[in-house]
Amino acid sequence: MSFNPAEEIEKLRKEIEHHNHLYYDLDDPVLSDTQYDQLYQKLKDLEARYPQFAAADSPTQKVGGKASTAFSPVVHRTPMMSLDNSYNAEDVRAWHERCAKMLSCPVFDMVLEAKIDGVSCSLTYTDGVLTTAASRGDGKTGEDITANVLTVKDIPHRIANAPAGILEIRGEIYLEKKDLAQLNEKQAAANQIIFANTRNAAAGSLRQKDPSVTMRRPLKFFAHSFGFGRINAGGFGDFIDDCRKWGFAVSPVRLRTSSIEEIIQFYQDFNDKRRTLPFDTDGLVIKVNSFDQQRILGNTAKSPRWAIAFKYPAEQATTTVKNVLFSVGRSGVITPVAQVEPVSCAGVVISNATLHNFDEIKRLGLRVGDKIILERAGEVIPKVVKVVQHLGQADIQPPVSCPACGRPVYKAEGEVGYYCVNPACPAQIKGRILHYASRAAMDIDGMGDAVVNELVNRRFVSNFADLYNLNFFHLLSLENFKEKKSQNLLDGLEASKKRPLSRLLFALGIAFVGAKTAEVLADHFHTLDALMNASIDELQTVPDVGTAVSQSVYDFFHDPAAKEQIELLRATGLNFTQPQKQMSSRILEGKTIVFTGEIEGMTRTQAEQLARQHGAKTSGSVSAKTTFVVAAKAAGGKLKKAQSLGVKIISAEEFFKMIQ
């Protein structure tokens, strides 16, 4: 194909605009400055050679083009170094020991502060007047961001009683969590970029070409380092006190001690507290206090030896997508799952992350081989946040055939999901059996993932009733099964026959019938036969049962295959009735309770059962209708929601006292 300058120019413009966007709006450049400059230069050359294709909206013509840098370089008087990181007590003790050795002194003062997640910035005051503000850049040379920094309200433009000449104060410019939420609301309303975190928002705000935009961002500053100048302080603690006198905010979390164990204790206690603070912190910073001792310890090529960051494990991590697989759930839904290069995130090693559906893949623009950021949503479920760098070639296509049974895949009109509609699909059978045996359903001890897998693969089991026809010899032939395990599983199966109707209903896996609806239905009809014979109208008289649920239940029990299954289960002696609810008291009648966190001595399900026995309603989510929330150890998002809604919060002890 011949060279087409118009096309080539257009392609370069698009590419450069994309990188401008990454750099200015997202503060997340993918290209190095050199790589960017090469692209930019290439476009400039082409535009010069083919002036007929010049355009006013080309990035080369715009003031904001990155190369025509709005922020001129500033060489730092002393380098702005980064800190060495540590993530555990051992590393911190080792650091302390190394310092002690180099200082020939086992006990020395240290200062601890919060490590606030923001953008570091160096402020130069000349005879007390703020003259230059610079970003860190590569540590040696930063960018001049004075115009933007002048709009930060926390930063004094003039300081009284400052030492004569040059004084350089360094610190962090950051955004509070609540301000990020507000900013993002505004951004969304204006159809602008949503910032992923406070750090990105702060950085993006400082990169604005127009300082009036920066001014509208509620940026804050706190001082944390000494850069240059003649000061009286002999130690870091005194210097920070001076900063306060000069009108700077400083870390709200501070500790001065000579005990490394006290610091480690503080680190552990602070982990819970830091989430309630108004700003994001990813850890603490430990510094040797005395400036003289700092001088003795000196620096490595990268960082000072007299300071170390004591970080908490990152909640986000960067890794690579190795492959995308498709899992088939018990209902036949096909879910894409990303297999990633194992990476440590929020304390665990992640190797899989759900992608939910194909819209999500499209939204992310994800390809196999891409570099991605993932996080544990609510510190639990790994989730792909975004693609950092496109390294993959081909787009990910939805599967044409089911990965488990090979039958063609269907996509319902207007729905996001793809389905395998083969009821005999082994993946669906496994899913259904696993659900049947699960804790909240029939609670069959000894029936986990591996056992179900083998039972289905070996064709011992293809439906619920088959489970009860398993004998000792079937089980003995399973991998790692001897007498003991086999007997345990048989006992587990036998015990499951006595479960109340509500659990059986849930276990059957009727669409729209979860644990809650199953219980409502069982309590209303008392026997499976009464439920099976109920008309759609009768079903709808039950609270919380509407058209969708009633239709689904009716259809399920009028399907010949399901009917046969029920009769087979009846023949094994399964319990088809719901016991009358026994009430311990009615003390909690009319109250709606939500449990959160780990309650000592019982599971959350047990606690909920207890509450219901005393007449309460229980729910899994907090709303204005919630009477109170029982918050135990390690309470999560529900506690937060309760606080924001002003819902009463009580402790587990208070709850137990109520029902005594």
Place of tokens 């993002």: 184
Interaction of residue 429 with DNA, rule CB under 7 A: no
Shortest reach from residue 450's CB to DNA, in Å: 12
Place of tokens 């080369």: 60
Interaction of residue 189 with DNA, rule CB under 7 A: no
432, 435, 436, 442 alpha-carbon torsion, rounded to 10°: 180
Choice between 304 and 336, CB closer to DNA: 336
Which residue(s) pair with 288 in the sheet? Answer: 110
Q: To which H or E segment does residue 427 belong?
A: helix 426-437
Do 222 and 116 meet the contact criterion of CB atoms below 8 Å apart? yes
CA distances from 538 to 283, 502, 504, 546, 554 (A): 59, 18, 21, 11, 10
Shortest reach from residue 394's CB to DNA, in Å: 22
- In the DSSP assignment, the letter for residue 380 is T
Interaction of residue 213 with DNA, rule CB under 7 A: no
Judged by CB under 7 A, the chain residues 514 through 543 that form the site for DNA are 514-518, 543
Place of tokens 């969304």: 188
Q: Show the site string, 564-603: x = touches DNA by CB under 7 A, - = not.
A: ----------------------------x---x-------
Alpha-carbon torsion 51, 53, 54, 59, what sign?
A: negative
Interaction of residue 511 with DNA, rule CB under 7 A: yes
Nearest to 504 by CA among 548, 545, 557: 557
Shortest reach from residue 613's CB to DNA, in Å: 16
143, 144, 147, 153 alpha-carbon torsion, rounded to 10°: 70
Interaction of residue 323 with DNA, rule CB under 7 A: no
- Name the 3-class secondary structure at 397: coil
Shortest reach from residue 542's CB to DNA, in Å: 7
Shortest reach from residue 350's CB to DNA, in Å: 5
Interaction of residue 197 with DNA, rule CB under 7 A: no
- Name the 3-class secondary structure at 593: strand
Amino acid at 312: Y
Interaction of residue 85 with DNA, rule CB under 7 A: no
Which residue(s) pair with 618 in the sheet? Answer: 593
Interaction of residue 194 with DNA, rule CB under 7 A: no
Shortest reach from residue 382's CB to DNA, in Å: 5
Alpha carbon distance 518, 158 (integer Å): 69
Interaction of residue 492 with DNA, rule CB under 7 A: no
Interaction of residue 562 with DNA, rule CB under 7 A: no
The one catalytic residue in 66, 115, 220, 638 is 115
Interaction of residue 268 with DNA, rule CB under 7 A: no
According to CB under 7 A, which one of 151, 638, 647, 649 is a site residue for DNA?
A: 638
- Whether 115 is a known active-site residue: answer yes
250, 283, 204, 193 alpha-carbon torsion, rounded to 10°: -130
According to CB under 7 A, which one of 416, 424, 583, 602 is a site residue for DNA?
A: 416
According to CB under 7 A, which one of 625, 653, 654, 657 is a site residue for DNA?
A: 625
Judged by CB under 7 A, the chain residues 329 through 348 that form the site for DNA are 329-331, 333, 335, 337, 348
The residues annotated as belonging to the active site are 115
Residues that bind DNA (CB under 7 A): 327, 329-331, 333, 335, 337, 348-354, 356, 359, 377-382, 415-416, 431, 509, 511-518, 543-550, 592, 596, 619-621, 623-626, 636-638
